[in-house]
Amino acid sequence: MQFSANLGFLWSELTLPDAIRAAKAAGFDAVECHWPYDFDSAEVKAALAETDLPMLGLNTARGDVSAGDNGLSALPERIPEARAAIDQALAYATEIGAHNIHVMAGFAQGDKAHRVFVENLDYACDRAAPAGISILIEPLNRYDAPGYFLQTTAQATAIMAEVGAANLKLMFDCYHVQLMEGDLTHKLAQLQDRIGHIQFASVPDRGAPDHGEINFDHVFRVVKELGFLMPLGAEYKPEGATGDTLAWLQKAQQI
């Protein structure tokens, strides 16, 4: 199996270009990131070319983090900012050859937030399609992100059906789904045609996938049996140096 290093958490003490190089040296097959916008896209593109690693995806900007923002696209009063964040992500993704953009919903609730999120996703999908970029939406659990608009896979798939865009996909994060819904392998099978990317971390501590309540050896085998071929995203918070938490990687690549 193949695995992607999420550089929002792994090697977060390094610059993004150097984190890409560290992921290559550690044996990862791809990389992904959260918010790369502080780094020159030309330097990131050069590091990707040097390492021959694909950049699987990045996130839209969260907004004013100091004021508590965690995404903008479901906030009725922030539509211009949300669309500017989408445009920024599309431009950066195009420059570095990223495959996916995770459009972050933010803290909101209610019918108006739902309608605005659908409209902003329609906007994002229309603009991403000519570049061959997929738009991802990701349910976040209520413990780490209380009040986040998108919380379950059922809510996400209903929104995807409403938007009706072929390039709108589900970001299936095993950590968030386990905390909110459980039943991971059945949900992976049920939703496989809608999934654009899979991420993972241990539950409940969001650490490396070698402990906790999820048997990731089993989950990875199920994913392989389902025929999901893209690298799976290691989006966990390392305890200590990232390099000291990678004992799982070589074993999992042999599954």
Give 146-189 as a DSSP string. Answer: TTBS---HHHHHHHHHHH--TTEEEEEEHHHHHHHT--HHHHHH
User: Quick check: 120 and 103 in contact, CB under 8 A?
Assistant: yes
Distance CA 75, CA 128 (A): 21
Tell me if residue 235 is catalytic. Answer: yes
* Per annotation, catalytic residue among 13, 32, 138, 181: 138
Question: Between the CA of residue 209 and those of 101, 111, 169, 213, what are the distances in Å?
Answer: 24, 37, 24, 10
In angstroms, rounded to a whole number, what is the distance separating the alpha carbons of residues 174 and 219? 9
Q: Which helix (H) or strand (E) holds 23?
A: helix 16-26
Tokens 């992921």 identify what position? 23
Which element (helix H / strand E) includes 222?
Answer: helix 216-225
Sign of dihedral through CA atoms 242, 244, 249, 250?
positive
Q: Could you say which of 32, 119, 235, 239 is catalytic?
A: 235
Determine the Cα–Cα distance for residues 217 and 208; give it in Å rounded to an integer.
12
What residues are labeled active site?
Answer: 138, 235
